[in-house]
Chains A and B, each alone.
Chain A
Amino acid sequence: MTVETHDPALHRGAPDWLWYVGTPAVGVVLYLLYGQLIPISEWVTALFPVARDSHTGEAIAFFVYDVPKVLLLLTGIVFVTGVLRSWFSPEKTRAILAGKREIWGYPLAALLGVLTPFCSCSSVPLFIGFVSAGIPLSVTFSFLIAGPMVGPVGLGLLYGLVGWQIATIYLVFGFTIATVAGFVLGRMGLERYLQDWVRELNAGPVGDLPEERLTLVDRLKIGAEQVREIVGKVWIWVLIGIGIGAAIHGYVPEEMMLRIMGGEAWWSVPAAVVVGVPMYTNAAGVIPIVEALLGKGAALGTTLAFMMSVIALSLPEMIILKQVLTLRLIAIFIAVVSAGILATGFLFNAIL
């Protein structure tokens, strides 16, 4: 049976065998393309009438190389993540967390925060759903911090653009901050700072939905749909981020970078957080900037602090959460997470 709809994701046109053959085939083609990015980008750069080793030439080369690289990586990561996440849902996560002792709740919530698919637009219903199911507020916070902070997109791009060492450091510390921040918030007895109506709310039982039985092809389709949706939404942030990265790479003198973001300037870590928190972009937009900063000799701790505060603490998300949290609770939340980020930043500037 062929069902015609206006939504290509639900188009039944492609038979199953095409998905089985096509998915690895597209993967191989993209992988081969990825391997040829240096010659391709050098060829494109040479088309511009500027000297390759001039400031402008360097900036163009950075941009031309990074744009296809980030978009290819992003496509791959979003697809794989979309497929893997099809085994998880907020409903299942809630059921898992509701039955756990608090102490195991934090790391588990942080882990599930990474694995559970949810968009920031549904963070309010999700928040209420968790809290009303008896999951401690603090464990819910661990979940909400880990989601964006150690998201697969950020990690994957860090791995591809900066290297596995820094990606690993980021993973370990991002996960630790989410766990510890949840724990600290839990010790503070914050339930009283929820908006009144949330405390009084006893949400209805979760709708008794039948378990969806998905075939492998269904999951591949979910991955493809995610690529269409997410890459279609973030490409503009990617271009802006790479543009800024290219400008830094081409024009900012190394000696100036060392003075502002070098390890010697102790104030650079808090400054990075202050600059980073109000900045609204996503992991895909900020990592090309991080790549350029590190390339110019910015200290690792300062750069990590900048990246974490941009990704983990976003103003729009706070505004959404304002519906359920009082301003005071939001302020405490930001303060605790920022403290964790500052500690990470100082630590790495001190030991490296």
Chain B
Amino acid sequence: MKTVKVYGPGCKRCETTEAMVKDAAAKLGVAVEVEKITDAKSIAMAGVISTPGISVDGKLVHAGGLPDAAKLEGWLRA
């Protein structure tokens, strides 16, 4: 079980990112728990300054803009 956190204040891109993570996980058959972090303080504490950001099992893998689908699968697979 992987824990994926999506950091973003709730803009459209952040929602798209969350959907992409879920889609990719379902496609790969990887069990994930997706958590959305929308609180500005928590986002900053995680070291994210451009949203949306993604962390997998506590490690930040992406910040700013929609993730690349192929890379996203790579993070989930690793």
Q: How far is the CA of A324 from the CA of B7 in the complex (A)?
A: 18
Contact assessment for B45 and A129 in the assembled complex, using a CB-CB cutoff below 8 Å: no
Q: Determine the distance from Cα of A241 to Cα of B53 in the docked complex, in whole angstroms.
A: 34
B48 within 8 A of A: yes
Q: 1/0 per position for B35-61, CB-CB distance to A under 8 A?
A: 000001101111111110101000011
A121 lies within 8 A of B68 (CB): no
**Option from B13, B20, B44 in Cβ contact (under 8 Å) with A125:** B44
Bound complex: CA of A204 vs CA of B46, how far in Å?
6
Interface pair B48/A121, CB less than 8 Å apart: no
B3 at the interface (CB under 8 A from A): no
Q: Tally B residues with Cβ within 8 Å of A.
A: 33
Tell yes or no: B33 within 8 A of A by CB. Answer: no
Cα A91 to Cα B61 in complex, Å, equals 14
Among A12, A90, A324, the one with the most B-chain Cβ atoms within 10 Å of its Cβ is: A90
**A contacts with B: majority SS:** loop
Interface residue? B66 (CB, 8 A): yes
Please, which residue of chain A has its CB at the minimum distance from the CB of B7? A125
Per the bound structure, the CA–CA distance linking A201 and B49 in Å amounts to 14
Q: Is the CB of B64 within 8 A of A89?
A: yes
Q: Are A9 and B50 in contact (CB under 8 A)?
A: no
Which among A3, A118, A207 is the interface contact of B47 at CB below 8 angstroms? A207
Shortest distance between the CB of A212 and any CB in chain B (Å):
9
CA distance A209 to B41 in the complex (A): 20
A/B pair count, beta carbons within 8 Å = 99
**B66–A125 CB distance below 8 A:** no
Q: Which residues of A contact B73 (CB under 8 A)?
A: 3
CB-defined contacts of B50 to chain A, threshold 8 Å: 89-91, 117-118, 122, 125-126
CA distance A125 to B48 in the complex (A): 7
Contacts of B65 in A (CB 8 A): 117, 222
By a CB distance below 8 angstroms, the chain B residues around A255 are none
How far, in angstroms, from A222 to B61 measured CA to CA in the complex?
Answer: 19
Contacts of B45 in A (CB 8 A): 201, 203-204
Question: Chain A residues near B20 (CB, 8 Å)?
Answer: 5, 7
Is the beta-carbon distance between B69 and A3 smaller than 8 angstroms?
yes
A94 to B57: give the CA distance in the assembly, Å: 26
Q: Is A338 an interface residue (CB 8 A)?
A: no
What is the chain A residue whose CB lies nearest that of B48? A125
Check: B70 CB closer than 8 A to any chain A CB.
Answer: yes
Residues in A neighbouring B10, C-beta threshold 8 A? 121
Q: Choose from B40, B41, B49 the contact partner of A130 (Cβ within 8 Å).
A: B49
Is the beta-carbon distance between A209 and B60 smaller than 8 angstroms?
yes
A125 touching B64, Cβ below 8 Å:
no
Complex interface: chain A residues within 8 A of B34 (CB) = none
Shortest distance between the CB of B77 and any CB in chain A (Å)? 13
Q: Does A206 lie within 8 Å of B49, measured CB to CB?
A: yes
Q: Does A17 contact B (CB under 8 A)?
A: no
Pick from B9, B55, B66: contact of A10, CB under 8 Å: B66
Chain A residues lying within 8 Å of B40, measured Cβ to Cβ, are 124-125, 128, 323-324
Interface string of A261-299 (1 = CB under 8 A from B): 000000000000000000000000000000000000000
A47 contacts B by Cβ under 8 Å: no
> Known: A3-B69, A91-B50. Contact between A121 and B9, CB under 8 A?
yes
Query: Does A121 lie within 8 Å of B51, measured CB to CB?
Result: yes
Offer 29 A-B interface pairs, CB within 8 angstroms, sorted by A: A1-B70, A3-B69, A7-B20, A10-B66, A89-B64, A91-B49, A91-B64, A117-B64, A118-B50, A121-B11, A122-B50, A125-B7, A125-B9, A125-B40, A125-B48, A125-B51, A128-B40, A128-B41, A129-B47, A129-B49, A201-B41, A201-B45, A203-B47, A204-B44, A206-B49, A207-B46, A207-B47, A209-B61, A222-B65
